[in-house]
Chains A and B, each alone.
Chain A
Amino acid sequence: MNPAAISIRNVSKRFSSHQALDGVTLDVAGHESVVILGPSGCGKTTLLRLIAGLEVPDRGEIWLGTVQAASPGRSLLPPYRRQIGFVFQDLALWPHLTVRGNLQFVLGAARLAKDQRDSRVRDALMRVRADGFADRYPHELSGGEQQRVALARALVGNPQLLLLDEPLSSLDAELRSTMRSELARLQRTLALTTVYVTHDPDDAATLADRVVQMRAGRIVAVNDMKRPEDRA
């Protein structure tokens, strides 16, 4: 049997007096799209940050495929070796770098020739329909354009996992709907293993193979979803 792409085993995490996660266990299969749904403060972002290696669990283990990434109190695999693309809620585009610079930084560790690197950057931008912005700085872009660039940056390194932390929360309703469709399209095209955190049920309905509902640091329900394209 193939191991899960992500395996979270009995993970707990506490921040001073706040128990962010309490014995969470979850497996995500390869190419699966899991949406984690829940109210603010329920621990969904903490779960995402643990998978990325930005936090270390107090208890439990995290496995990425066959590699153990974290054990209690220890990170066994640094974040940059986890082959993860991450889209932050506030996008976190580096303001002192152009769009091209943002994407090239991700490819810095890969030993690529300059033309290969340029080609990867160009492809990633085209994939999210942001190829006209390469030489602009983040502050010169609109909210939707920044969103696309953040997505391109997450994808340019050809990650095994794509983690998205409420990436659409700052957009207006119309743009949000457009970007949601874009994300669904990319998911279908790239068949990435995706974990998507949101508190919006519409996101879940559009993007999820499986919806994990969280409350007060625990998983309270897991629902398989039939996605709109499957229904069709």
Chain B
Amino acid sequence: MWRWPSSRTVVLAIAVVLFSACCLLPVAYLLTIPFSTPHAAYGVLWLDARQQGLLWNTALLGVGTALCASAIGAPLGLALARIPLRGKPLLRLALAAPALLPPYIVALAWTYLGSSRGLVASLVGYDLPGEWTYSLPAAILVLTLVFYPISMLATEVAMRRIDVRLEEAAVLVAPPRRVLGRITLPLAAPSVLAAALIIFVLAASEFGVPGLLRVRVYTTEVFTAFAALYDFSRAMLVALPLMALCLILALVAVAIVGERLVTTRRGSGARPALLDRWRRPAEAAVILAVVLALGVPVIVLIREALDAQAMRTLVEDSGGAIANSLFLATIGATVVVGLAVWLGYARARARTRLGQVADVLFVVVFAVPSTIVGVGLIGLWNRPGLAGALYGTDVMFILGYLARLVPVAALAIAAITRYVPESHEEAAAVSGAGWFRTMTRIVAPQIRLGLLTAWVITFVLAFGELGVSILVAPPGEATLPIRIYTIIANTPSSHVAALALLQTTVILAPLAVLAAALQLPLRALRLPRGPSATAQRVPGDVEGDEAP
């Protein structure tokens, strides 16, 4: 007998339909292009010298960044997980902050640092970086500084997940170095490898940094084909090899990580002190990393911006773009989290097989390069009728944010939701509460700080988004990233630096608030106790917290 579906089924079904429409459809649309393109156009896919160059540069950029970011991030993650560093929560936050900076901002700082009248030149007396300022190694360096937190956090989480007993069993029979080399690191290795693959995908998908540093890769080729040559089918065909590469690597990463993608269980009990005597060197290394990855870019931007004349005029000129960015990022983050909360909940409660499919979809969608998503959105919405009415409006920015950021937010919320035992919902159901009441009164309060964190991260990422925005922006409309990117060539560097500094401030401000919150006692945050307290535990609790 037919029955009305439950409210849970309806809400989750709507969320899945919206995810499919906003995130999957642009990618699916691109995949249909080969079937509707004249065969002659496939010439762009042949690996002639130009294509080989693109492939080589893209591969080098991805591999170089993945290796360098892992070489820096994994030891830092090890230090955060295993060494009792002083001020660990703040250090972790400072170390993770570069991941939230738009990569092109760091690249911009790099160009100021390495230019003929930059900081390095003024310190050493001559143009030390020289031509190296605009090069593939420079792009690798910049992306390494931005992406190493991914490896760091993945390593730390992996280290904390290792069952304490496995290490204890080893320290009974082997010295710390051997325990670390044979037990701890091999157990964490899959997560480090998966993070390296994700970094490869992100680096190969990056548009702003290679564009700024004049490195020809697939993403810049897609942009050029579309924005400069107005050759839509060429842009799509050029995008295909990169998309295939990213999708394959994303699938491999998901296969390696498996269920750990949304599980952040911590091994319980005090950890054996394997690396305590490395505390001082580790603290020095952490501070050096913070200075290089966060301090230097910010200082360089400040130094460059100090020369800016008529700051007021500058801000007035770009006021529209600034207000636009803040408004769109706020709306975008709200809409993205509003959708991701249901997807994340569904993922957290999904059975294993279905959950794995969802993980694959989330990671694959996130792995699609932003310029390709932009091209897909244009192809999908730039047509007569209702779609055309939306195309050319600010809604395209929101659709871009949805396409890019829903997977990240959904995975983060799924990980948080897993901390709420299903029995809490069952107990509410047995007590007569409907699903909505259970969600709003039982589940949501337990994950509220996690939701807020997801919103802040989404806001920051949306505020710095460039790859999709620059393609789908309606005529005359610009966000701050687009404004910065487009005025670089014909505006004094001090003006560009001032805008970049403004953007950096807006991005780092929420982190500063979070850092201040970390200084407050737990009670001041009014965190509930029990599983939700664990879920909303701010990062950085010391090892001592794990004592039995």
Contacts and interface: CB of A to CB of B under 8 A. Distances in A.
B125 interface: no
B169 A88 contact: yes
Interface string A8-51: 00000001100000000000000000000000000000000000
B183 A94 contact: yes
Contacts of B547: 15-16
A105 B182 CA distance: 8
Interface stretch (B173-181, B421-429, B483-491): B173-181
Contacts of A108: 173-174, 178, 182
A80 B179 CA distance: 11
A54 B171 contact: yes
B43 to A, nearest CB: 48
A157 B170 contact: no
Most interface-central of B166, B183, B547 (chain A CB within 10 A): B166
Interface string B140-174: 00000000000000000000000101101111111
B183 A92 contact: no
Contact of A92 (B169, B174, B178, B548): B169
A78 B165 contact: no
A39 B256 CA distance: 41
A78 B163 CA distance: 20
A2 B219 CA distance: 78
A224 B174 CA distance: 35
B170 A88 contact: no
A85 B172 CA distance: 8
A90 B163 CA distance: 10
B547 to A, nearest CB: 5
Contacts of A92: 163, 165-166, 168-169
B178 A86 contact: no
Nearest to B166: A92
Given A16-B547, A96-B186, A105-B183, A90 B174 contact: no
Interface in A41-80: 52-55, 78-80
B355 interface: no
B165 A105 contact: no
A208 interface: no
B173 A106 contact: yes
Nearest to A46: B548
Interface in B304-353: none
Given A15-B548, A94-B169, A94-B183, A105 B174 contact: yes
Contacts of A96: 186-187
Nearest to A89: B165
Nearest to A45: B548
B258 interface: no
Nearest to A54: B168
A48 to B, nearest CB: 11
B522 to A, nearest CB: 14
B175 A80 contact: yes
B272 interface: yes
A113 interface: no
B353 to A, nearest CB: 19
A90 B178 contact: no
B174 A80 contact: yes
A94 B175 contact: no
Contacts of B270: 55
Contacts of B166: 92, 94-95
Contacts of B178: 108-109
Interface string B456-482: 000000000000000000000000000
Interface in A85-126: 85-86, 88, 90, 92-96, 105-106, 108-109
B183 A79 contact: no
B372 to A, nearest CB: 37
A84 interface: yes
Contact of A54 (B174, B182, B272): B272
A92 B170 CA distance: 9
B173 A80 contact: yes
Most interface-central of B166, B169, B178, B183 (chain A CB within 10 A): B169
A15 B168 CA distance: 18
Most interface-central of B168, B173, B178, B187 (chain A CB within 10 A): B173
Contacts of A106: 173-174
Interface in B492-515: none
Nearest to B169: A92
A109 B169 contact: no
A88 B166 CA distance: 9
A106 B175 CA distance: 11
21 contacts: A15-B547, A15-B548, A16-B547, A52-B172, A53-B172, A54-B168, A54-B171, A78-B171, A79-B171, A80-B172, A80-B174, A85-B172, A86-B168, A88-B165, A88-B168, A92-B168, A95-B187, A105-B173, A108-B174, A109-B174, A109-B178
Interface of A: 15-16, 52-55, 78-80, 82, 84-86, 88, 90, 92-96, 105-106, 108-109, 153, 157
8 closest Cβ pairs, A-B complex: A92-B165, A92-B169, A106-B173, A79-B172, A79-B171, A88-B165, A96-B186, A86-B172
Given A16-B547, A105-B174, 16 more contacts: A15-B548, A54-B168, A54-B172, A80-B172, A80-B174, A85-B172, A86-B169, A86-B172, A92-B165, A93-B169, A94-B169, A94-B170, A94-B183, A96-B186, A105-B173, A108-B174
Interface of B: 163, 165-166, 168-175, 178, 182-183, 186-187, 270, 272, 547-548
